[in-house]
């Protein structure tokens, strides 16, 4: 039934189109995710309340 409805050229074209769409979406997500913001401690926060060493030891 599938083979009777579509010829080989249409199936190959659909596969190539799907692969190209997936590659373009992956590339766009890679470009967006490449520039990660650096999260820093706010200046107004005291050192006692925000200690990176204590948080690492808990894990």
How does pLDDT run across 2-25, given as a tens digit for each residue?
Answer: 667 888 899 999 999 999 999 999
- Using CA atoms, how far apart are residues 13 and 37, in angstroms rounded to an integer? 40
More confident site: 48 or 32: 32
Sorted by sequence, the CB contacts under 8 Å of residue 50 that are 6+ apart come out as 41
pLDDT category at 38 given cuts 50, 70, 90 is confident
- Rounded to the nearest 5 degrees, what angle is found at the Cα of 38, between the Cα atoms of 35 and 50? 160
As a whole-number percent, the residues of the chain with pLDDT over 70 amount to: 59
- Using CA atoms, how far apart are residues 2 and 14, in angstroms rounded to an integer? 14
More confident site: 31 or 52: 31
More confident site: 8 or 54: 8
Question: Are 41 and 50 in contact, with CB atoms under 8 Å apart?
Answer: yes
Domain boundaries, the chain: 1-34
């Amino acid at each position: 039934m599938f083979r009777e409805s579509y010829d080989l050229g249409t199936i190959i074209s659909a596969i190539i189109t799907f692969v190209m769409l997936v590659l373009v979406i992956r590339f766009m997500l890679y470009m967006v995710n490449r520039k990660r913001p650096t999260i820093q401690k706010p200046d107004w926060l005291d050192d006692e309340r925000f200690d990176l060493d204590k948080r690492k030891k808990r894990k």
